[in-house]
Chain A
Amino acid sequence: MPEYIEKVKFDDEGYLENHEHWSEDLAKTMAEEEGIYDLTSRHLEVIYAIRGEFAEKGEAPTLRRLTKVHGFPTKELYQLFPGGPGKKAARIAGVKKPHGCI
């Protein structure tokens, strides 16, 4: 494991404990763990939108917010982050897992 990853801590579910320890290099490695081998600028647009909202509100945006507020079409989010864009993108963005609703 690269050295910059050893320094940072993850919670039980693999989410970064401190979002300030995030870097694009780390995102690349985490993306590969999620089966995304080519982290494009479009991926990064989504990731920075998530990080921006997390910094502001302390919570990752829901899929609906990514679509309605940030303007990423749901279909594309599923293409960029296959399987589960909400949780996967939040993990790669280095923020806490989005809260399940009640």
Chain B
Amino acid sequence: MNKKQIIILGGGTAGNIFSHKLVKSLNTDEWEITVIDRSPIHYYQPGFLFIPFGIYRPEDVVKNKSELLHPNVNQVFSEIDRIVPQENNVYLENGSALKYDYLIISTGVDIAPDEVEGMKGDLWGLQVFDFYSFDGAVSLQMAMKNFKGGNLVVHVTEMPIKCPVAPLEFAFLSDYYFKRNGYRPEVNIHYVTPLPEAFTKPEAAKVFGNFLLNKNIKIHTDFNIAAVDNENKNIISWDEREIPFDLLVTVPTNMGSEFIGRSGMGDELNLMPTNQATLKARNFDNIFVAGDATDIPTSKAGSVIHYQAEVIVQNLISKIKNNPLNAKFDGHTNCFIETGNEKAILIDFDYENDPTRGRFPIHGLGPMSLLKETRINHLGKMAFKWLYWNRIIKGKDIPFSS
């Protein structure tokens, strides 16, 4: 008997979780599970933030996907050319087709610096860097080390981006970094955002705004970048404001995978239209979408996928049995935000509830203060790497699951 096929596109955080959960939830005599990814290397993306400051070494954030994915799933390493949903086929770069009964799209988002004029210009990799890619984070480490004074501009191009707190953390950690190496008086730190304030959620924006103020980081809001001027070393907004930089650390536009665009299935950012409760693709009955690849209004972060995975597995099984999709994702997100001085803030929110102050129970570490800067939150953030490699991507419970 031919086995039925489940194909998972993307072997990142989400793809790994599904490889482990599906093997346990489905009868593998009936079902064959295949993960397709363009790269055999898995990056611990939350660790990219720490590489430019020398807190993590590059090798701390890299493992082979083949060691992490469940051994009972097929692994295919290839670029994806396109999906043809009418045929239930995924076409690879070499033209071969893989047929699926059910498809999970979890190919995430990637930086697209070409979306802004001049961003990937002459200064890219010299004075203009990103830290959302492994190569960007690694090359930025040397630039930070050599930076002895001038304008450090930490910049967000446009929303949505994955881990929307990361650029704030970069600014906070820069302040701490230059205080420790003695160059802080010579370094002007600017935080430039297209948002009207420091963050998307009002209560948290107030807290982060105060941190920027206290750390003497100048914030520029409502800044929609039109171009990077490589000659004069300025970033220029559409309303013709200019901010000079000596070192520009930018978060470029984040976009979903190009094959989603090629397949004609995505929106203008190649994100997949997705039901925000059931996580089924809005236009396709046998496709689910997980993590950063969706267009749903929640943060693009690993913790979100952890909460989504259970919903998708349950709904996939319901779909297979022709039952209604009863599992609902509530938008639950939480994340630690490094603030420097080996302290951090924890925020927790969902579709309905904005981040608030209070306490959040974490077994083994004790209650964490929400929206408050503490040392134990920093320890939580640092413990996250272990949790990630050992529990999260294997689809196991983590002490945050409440």
Q: Interface with A: B20-28, B156-164, B178-186, B363-371, which one?
A: B156-164
A102-B160, A102-B298 are contacts. A65–B268 as well, Cβ < 8 Å? yes
Q: Kindly state whether residue B400 has any CB partner on chain A within 8 Å.
A: no
B224 touches A63 (CB 8 A): yes
Task: With both chains docked as a complex, state the minimum distance between the C-beta of A53 and any C-beta of chain B, in angstroms.
Answer: 12
* Min C-beta distance of A59 to chain B, whole Å: 10
Q: Which of A68, A78, A101 contacts B159 (CB 8 A)?
A: A101
- The reply to whether the CB of B243 lies closer than 8 angstroms to some CB of chain A is no
Q: In angstroms, how far is the closest chain A Cβ from the Cβ of B190? A: 20
Assembled-state Cα–Cα distance A81/B25 (Å): 54
Contact with A along B258-299 (1 / 0, CB 8 A): 000000000011000000000000000000000000000111
The contact of B239 among A65, A68, A82, A99, by CB within 8 Å, is A82
Min CB distance, B59 to chain A, in Å?
32
With A64-B158, A74-B238, A78-B239 already in contact, the answer to whether A101 and B200 are too (CB < 8 A) is yes
B297 touches A99 (CB 8 A): yes
- Contact indicator per residue, chain A 68-102, by CB within 8 Å of chain B (1) or not (0): 11000011011000111000000000000001111
A67 nearest in chain B by CB position: B268
Q: Select from chain B the residue with minimum beta-carbon distance to A77.
A: B238
Instruction: Select which of A65, A74, A78, A100 is within 8 A of B195 by beta carbon.
Output: A100
**Is A74 a contact of B200 with CB atoms below 8 Å?**
no
Residues A74 and B160 in contact in the complex (CB < 8 Å), given A69-B268, A83-B239, A99-B297: no
Residue interface bits B347-371, CB-to-A below 8 A is 1, else 0 = 0000000000000000000000000
| Cα separation A16 to B162 with both chains bound (whole Å) | 32
Instruction: Report how far A99 CA is from B351 CA in the complex, Å.
Output: 13
User: Which partner residue on chain A sits nearest B159 by CB separation?
Assistant: A101
Query: B371 to nearest A CB, angstroms?
Result: 16
Residue of A nearest to B297 (CB): A102
Binary interface encoding of chain A residues 14-57 relative to chain B, with 1 for a CB under 8 A from any of its CBs, else 0: 00000000000000000000000000000000000000000000
Contact string, B190-226, partner A, CB cutoff 8 A, digits 1/0? 0000011000110000000000000000000010101
Within 8 A of A (CB), among B298-337: 298-299, 333
A68: chain B residues within 8 A (beta carbon): 268
Within the complex, the shortest CB–CB distance from B334 to chain A, in Å, comes to 13
Whether A100 contacts B239 by the Cβ 8 Å rule is: no
Instruction: List residues of chain A with CB within 8 A of the CB of B299.
Output: 102
Which B residues touch A101, using CB under 8 A?
A: 159-160, 164, 200, 297
Bound-state CA distance A100–B156 (Å) is: 14
In the complex the two chains form, is B164's CB within 8 Å of A102's CB?
Answer: yes
Do B238 and A100 have beta carbons less than 8 Å apart?
no
**Can you name the residue of chain A whose Cβ is closest to the Cβ of B253?**
A64
Q: Which residue of A lies closest to B160 (CB)?
A: A101
Q: Is the CB of A100 within 8 A of B224?
A: no
Q: Once the chains are docked, how many angstroms separate the CA of A78 from the CA of B158?
A: 16
Closest-CB distance, B82 to chain A (whole angstroms)? 20
- Contact between chains at A100 and B159 (CB < 8 Å): yes
Distance from A47 Cβ to chain B, minimum over Cβ atoms (Å)? 19
**Which residues does chain A contribute within 8 Å of B201, judged by CB atoms?**
102
Candidates B164, B196, B268; contact of A64 at CB < 8 Å: B268
List, in ascending order, chain B residues with CB within 8 A of A102's CB.
159-160, 164, 200-201, 297-299, 333
B69 to chain A, nearest CB (A): 29
Query: Looking at A77, A78, A101, A102, which has the most chain B CB atoms within 10 Å of its CB?
Result: A102
Contacts of A74 in B (CB 8 A): 226, 238
- Of all chain B residues, the one with the shortest Cβ separation from A84 is B222
Residue of A nearest to B298 (CB): A102
| Residues of B89-142 whose CB lies within 8 A of A | none
Chain B positions within 8 Å of A63 at CB level? 158, 224
Rounded to whole Å, the gap between the CB of B279 and the closest CB of chain A is 16
Tell me the smallest distance from the CB of A99 to a CB of chain B, in Å: 7
Tell me, in angstroms, the Cα distance from A43 to B33 when the chains sit together: 52
5 intermolecular pairs with C-beta atoms under 8 Å apart = A75-B226, A100-B159, A101-B160, A102-B297, A102-B333
Nearest first, the 10 A-B pairs at minimum CB distance are A101-B159, A101-B160, A68-B268, A78-B238, A100-B200, A102-B299, A102-B200, A65-B268, A102-B297, A64-B268
